[in-house]
Structure 1
Amino acid sequence: MSSLSEEVSSLAEQTGFAGVVSVTTGDEVEYAAAFGLAHRGLSIPNTVDTRFAIASGTKGLTALTVMSLVTDGKLALSTPVRSILGADLPMIDDTVTVEHLLSHRSGIGEWYSETGDVRDYLLPVPAQNLLDSEQYLGVLDGHPQDFAPGTRFTYNNGGYVVLGLIAERVSGTPFHSLVVERVCEPAGMTSTEFLRSDTPESRTALGYVEMDGTWRTNVFHLPIRGAGDGGIYSTVDDFRAFWPAFLAGAIVPADRVASMIRPHSDVPEYSLRYGLGFWLRDTEVMLEGYDSGVSFQSAHNPTTGRTYTVMSNTTDGAWPIARHLAGA
C-alpha cells in the first residue's frame, strides 16, 4: 500500500503541479511538501512557507470580518445594505440584507462572471484601477437585480465586494487592514495579507496562466489588489492555524461560528451546501478559490481534526491533489 507522500508526489509529477500541499491532524503534521516554481523566470522554487493568492478562499475571511462587526453591534444580519450604501449602486434591491449577501442569496447583478474559460476572464477596467474598496463602485454599478432577494442561491462575487465596502464604511477602517485586525491576527495567520500584484514580495508565488503554449503571469487578469470577493495571499501553515482558531471561537463567538457553518442552501450541482462564507461537504467545512493563475482548497473535519490544504499558482493545479485528499 502506497504512502500519502508517494501518492501526492506521483500526482504532482503526472500533472506538473506547482504549489504546496499540507495534511495535518490536530497538531501533527502528516505531510507537507512543495512542488514547482514560485517564479518561473528566475527559477525560484515554491517552499512550504511560500505565500499564494487564494482567490475566493478570501470570502470566508470577509464573512468573518463582517460577522465580527455584527458581534460588535455595528451591523446586523438583517441590516438592509441600502442603509449603508445610500445612493450608491441603485440597482441593488432595497430589501437586500447583509445575510443575503453572505449566503449568496441576494440576487444582485454580477460584476465578474465565472462562466467559460477562466483564462479568458477580462476585467471591465484596467487592473490598476481596482486597488481599494470604493474604486469598485464603478464596476459594481449598472447590473440589474437577477431575482428577488432570499429566493434562491446563486454564487455571486459582487455581493462579497459589497460586503467589504460595507465593512469598511461602518468600521471606519480600510477593508484590507480590517481583515488582518479582525481575522488574521486572532487566528494566528501571521503571513496572510492583501498584496499588490505589481509589488515584488519575498516568498510569494506569482500566478501563471498557460496561453498558446507559453506560461504568462496573471497580472493582467486580476485586480491589482484583492477585495471582499478574493485575492488575499496566505500559506498552508496559516490555514493550519485558522481552522481550530475559527471553530474555537477565537475570531467570533461560538454561536456566530455555528450560524456560519449551518447549511443555508443546498448546492446539488456541486454536491455541497453553503453556510455564510463557507462551503460544507459531508462532515467537512471548506474554503476554495479558483481564478486565472490561482487554485486553492482547504478543508477541515471538526470531528477528526484533519485538515488538508492545497495551494497552487496555476489555474487548475490544485484540483487533482485536492480531489485525492478529499477521498483519502
Structure 2
Amino acid sequence: MVNTGASVEWARKQVDLGRVPVGVLGIASSNGIEDVVAFGSDGGRQATADHHFALFSVSKPISALAVMRQVEMGKLSLGSALSTAVPGFGTGRTDTVTLEHLLSHRSGITDPELDDGVPLRDALTSAGQTFYAGSLVQYCNIAFEGAAAMAEWADGRPFEEQVLSLAADTGASGLTFSTDCNPHTVHGTEAAGLNAGAMFEQRHPGAGLFGTATDLLNLGSELLRDSGKAVQPATLAAMRRPRTTRLSHITTRPKPLRQTGLGFQLPANESELIARGIYGHPGWSGTEWWMFPEQDRCVVFLTNVLDTPDLGVDTTELLNAVAAS
C-alpha cells in the first residue's frame, strides 16, 4: 500500500497558503489508483476528484503516445519528414523537419501564440524558422500540430479520434478537447495576455486537452504496468530516452531545466531528487503528471492557475514526497 500522507499534505498546503484556489492530488501504482483527494473551492465551486481541468502541456505526452502508435504499426518512422504529410510546410527551408524533431522540441519552427485564432494547420504551414532542425532545443507548441498532421496522414482518421481511442483503451475515457466537460476556470490569463477561450477553440494537440485525475492516473498505471495498452514496451522505452542532453536550450525560464524524450519531459535536476528515471510533463495551468518506474508510482496534481512556480509552488517537493511514499 502506498503511503500518500506527505503528498496529500503538500497539496493541501498549496491551497491553504493561497497559492492556488483548488487542488486535486492523485497517486497510483501499477496495481491501480491508490488515493485521490481534492481541496479548496473557486467561485463557490468546491473541488472534487471527478472535476475536469485544463491540462495545457500535459496534453503533449498524451498526443505523443497517440502518434507513436502509428510508428509502432510501421505507418510512420521517427525520420519521416513533416513536409511529406503537409506539402505546404517548410517552403524555403533547406533542412528537413522530422517526427523526432517535432516530438522533442528540436524542429526550429517559430511558435505562434496559442490564442492568435489562426487555424492550426495554416499556422503550421506559414510558420517561420528559428534554427536549423536538430541543432538546438526550443519549446514549441505548434510542433505537436505537425505530429498530429503526420498521424492523420499515416492513419486516415482525424487525430482527435486517435487520441480518444488511446484514452478508451487505457481507462482515460474522460479526456476530451471539448469545454462541454465544465472544466475549472483558469486564472492568471489576463496577466499572461492569454485568451484561454480562443486557445481552447483550437483543440490544440499540444495544449488543448481537458481531463480528470482519474483519467491521468489510469493512463499512468498502464504505463507503469508496461501493459502495451497505450503503446508497446519498446515504444515507451524509446519515448523515455532523452533526446536533448547534448544540445543548447533556447529558453526564458531555465529552471527547472528539463530534458525531453518523445513527448515526455525528464527532470534534469536529479541531484535535487530522491528518485531517478522520472518522466511525465507539467502544464502551464499548474497541472502535473509524472511516472516513477523504479518506485512504481504515478502522481497527478491538477489546479487552475498559470505560472504556479512564480507563486511558490515547488513541484520538486512533491516529487520527493511521492518517491518516498
Structure 2-normalised TM-score?
0.81
1:24 equivalent among 15, 24, 28: 28
Residue 161 of structure 2: aligned partner: 177
Quickly say closer, same or farther: Cα 1:101–1:310, change in 2 above 3 A. same
Residue 211 of structure 2: aligned partner: 234
2:148 aligned with 1:164, yes or no?
Answer: yes
After superposition, residues 1-328 of structure 1 pair within 5 angstroms as: 3-4=5-6, 5-17=8-20, 18-27=22-31, 31-37=35-41, 40=43, 43-88=44-89, 90=91, 95-112=96-113, 123-125=115-117, 135-181=119-165, 183-196=166-179, 200-202=180-182, 204-209=183-188, 211=190, 219-220=196-197, 222-246=199-223, 247-266=226-245, 269=254, 270-281=256-267, 282-290=276-284, 294-317=285-308, 320=313, 322-328=315-321
Counterpart contact for 1:12–1:321, Cα < 8 Å: no
Quickly say closer, same or farther: Cα 1:177–1:207, change in 2 above 3 A. same
Quickly say closer, same or farther: Cα 1:148–1:89, change in 2 above 3 A. closer
Quickly say closer, same or farther: Cα 1:92–1:75, change in 2 above 3 A. farther
Residue 116 of structure 1: aligned partner: none
Residue 115 of structure 1: aligned partner: none
If each structure's strand is expressed as a fraction of its own residues, which one has the higher value? 1
Quickly say closer, same or farther: Cα 1:263–1:16, change in 2 above 3 A. closer
Moved more, 77-86 or 279-288: 279-288
Q: 1:101 Cα deviation (Å)?
A: 0.8
Q: Give the share of equivalent positions with the same residue, in percent.
A: 25
Counterpart contact for 2:101–2:134, Cα < 8 Å: yes
Question: How big is each residue's C-alpha offset from its partner over 1:213-272, in whole Å with a ceiling of 9 and x where there is no partner?
Answer: xxx996445231422211101111122111231333222211111110011112884343
- 1:201 maps to a residue whose letter is C
Question: How big is each residue's C-alpha offset from its partner over 1:44-65, in whole Å with a ceiling of 9 and x where there is no partner?
Answer: 2220111111101111111111
Gaps in structure 2 of 5+ consecutive residues: 268-275
Counterpart contact for 2:25–2:299, Cα < 8 Å: yes
Counterpart contact for 1:206–1:217, Cα < 8 Å: no
Q: 1:278 Cα deviation (Å)?
A: 0.4
Counterpart contact for 2:104–2:261, Cα < 8 Å: yes
Count of residues in correspondence between the two structures = 296
How far apart, CA to CA, are the structure 2 residues paired with 1:92 and 1:174? Answer: 27
Matched residue SS, 2:88: coil
Structure 1-normalised TM-score?
0.80
Residue 270 of structure 2: aligned partner: none
How far apart, CA to CA, are the structure 2 residues paired with 1:283 and 1:210? Answer: 33
Quickly say closer, same or farther: Cα 1:7–1:144, change in 2 above 3 A. closer
Question: How big is each residue's C-alpha offset from its partner over 1:83-115, in whole Å with a ceiling of 9 and x where there is no partner?
Answer: 111134535555111111111111122223xxx
Question: How big is each residue's C-alpha offset from its partner over 1:135-157, in whole Å with a ceiling of 9 and x where there is no partner?
Answer: 31332344322111111222111
What is the root-mean-square deviation of aligned Cα atoms in Å? 2.8
How far apart, CA to CA, are the structure 1 residues paired with 2:103 and 2:132? Answer: 15
Moved more, 141-150 or 297-306: 141-150
